[in-house]
Amino acid sequence: MEIILKQDIPNLGFKDDIITVKDGYARNYLIPKGYAVMAIGAERKVLAEVLKQRAFKEEKIKKEAEKIAEKIQDAKLKIGAKAGTSGKIFGSVNPLQISEALKEQYDVDIDRKKILIDGDSIKEVGEYKAKINLHKDVRIDIKFEVHAE
């Protein structure tokens, strides 16, 4: 029997996949639990429309991410931190400070969860790189400098 999955099911498939399973598995488990529906004509048309709308929204989000990436591609952030004479920072610089610096210096609002730093945080003055995941297909590296205040 062909069914359309309504959510991700491990070892079976992902949401909105059309798959073939044994009739008993579909009728006795997947359909009653709400994990799937039978892939009949009307359901297939609804699925096609949902996938079409999702692709349109996904393309719009990707274009916005590309615009942001273009704006900050060659940016070099300057982040001030209190530091001792040896260059060791009191505390650390983490993705939250990078996100705030991007907002302040380039007027770009990026969620701190999308910013990845090697080693999770910076504890010394110097130049570093961070990876920013704006979209699953749009990733950029940004340089930033941590200086003593």
Domain boundary among 67, 87, 118: 67
* 51-76 burial: b if 16+ Cβ within 10 Å, else e: eeeeeeeeeeeeeebeebbeebeeee
Q: Is residue 94 classed as helix, strand or coil in its secondary structure?
A: coil
Across the range 85-103, mean pLDDT stands at 89
**Based on the domain organization, do 77 and 44 belong to the same domain?**
no
**Based on the domain organization, do 80 and 58 belong to the same domain?**
no
Domain hosting residue 85, numbered range: 69-148
- Banded pLDDT at 84 (limits 50, 70, 90): confident
- Banded pLDDT at 121 (limits 50, 70, 90): confident
Domain boundary among 67, 92, 120: 67
Q: Is residue 67 classed as helix, strand or coil in its secondary structure?
A: helix
Q: Tens of pLDDT along 9-44?
A: 989 988 999 999 999 999 999 999 999 999 998 999
Q: Which token pair is 107?
A: 């007027």
Domain boundary among 67, 89, 111: 67
* pTM for this entry: 0.66
- Please, are residues 132 and 102 in contact by the beta-carbon 8 Å criterion? no
